[in-house]
Amino acid sequence: MLFVVTRSAAVLAAALLIAQPAALRAQPAKKPAPAKAPAAAAPAASAAVGVAGAAAPAAPASPATSAQARFAACLACHGEGGRSVTPLTPSLAGQHSFYAITQLFLFREGRRNNPVMTAVAKGMSDADMRAFADLIARLPGPPAASMEGLDARRMANGATLASQHRCGGCHGADYTGGNQVARIANQREDYLLATLREYQAGTRLGYTTAMNETLSGLTPEGLADIAYFLANAPSAKP
């Protein structure tokens, strides 16, 4: 129970990170300070020194600008446009801002285990995570999967098992997720299968133990067919 509460608290913390800018914008504007009397004019020579002096330092890059530049490094692994072609590396295309910032938060705080992502996230500020999550959310979703050449039996079995185990109850009827819940439609098959195995084995936990309990009793073949079906989900919208 304590672990479930801790995971839920992480989700709430991530939600606050997203809500913070809006909350700040909602604060009443401060009244402007009274205008000061103009200072006496400086001698022309002094003014000339000021003009000839060093130029004012450039304004620091905003978190959004900095994140945009750094985001290119993310796509080196997660693929152009967030569509991964790297084994066991998930696509980011089509993921939601709330889900993205929640995962970054969990990586940063050491509550989700992946050495590479932990190293990436540990130096992120709250503003960095907001900026990265917004960039991820702007990536177009993956194109609809082609049904040509698919194994009809595996697709049917995967669809049946996904329905029986109520995957759509959290991930949506078309498995595109929402809010803090991942889009799993058209995700990489190998990544989906590895993730399902981790949940079933208890080596990965979600916000609660729901995923671990849902997958209990499924055979290895069943897990593989669910991953196959979801990776090729025919009804998912881009």
Do residues 131 and 159 share a domain? Answer: no
Q: Ramachandran region of residue 74, left (φ > 0), alpha (ψ -120 to 50) or beta?
A: alpha
Closest C-alpha to 92, from 80, 109, 107, 102:
80
41 occurs within a structural domain = no
Classify residue 3: in a domain, yes or no. Answer: no
User: Does 170 fall in a domain?
Assistant: yes
* 134 and 156 fall within a common domain: no
129 plus 176 within the same structural domain: no
pLDDT at residue 49, rounded to an integer: 33
pLDDT tier at 67, thresholds 50, 70, 90: confident
pLDDT in tens, 201-226: 999 988 899 999 999 999 999 999 99
Number of domains in the chain: 2
* Residue 177, domain member (yes or no): yes
Instruction: Quote the pTM value.
Output: 0.77
Domain span at residue 98? 63-138
Q: Is 168 within a domain?
A: yes
User: What is the structure's pLDDT at 6?
Assistant: 56
Q: How far is CA 17 from the centre of its chain?
A: 13
Residues 165 and 226 in one domain: yes
Look at residue 53 and give its three-state secondary structure. Answer: coil
CATH code, domain with 127: 1.10.760.10
Quick: pLDDT tens for 105-142.
Answer: 999 999 998 999 999 999 999 999 999 999 999 999 99
Arithmetic mean of pLDDT over the chain: 82
Q: Which pLDDT score, from 0 to 100, does residue 42 have?
A: 43
Distance CA 174, CA 168 (A): 7
Give the pLDDT score at 23. 46
pLDDT tens digits, residue range 132-158? 999 999 999 998 888 899 999 999 999
Does 184 reside within a domain? yes
Domain assignment present for residue 91? The answer is yes
pLDDT(193) > 70: yes
In a domain, residue 69? The reply is yes
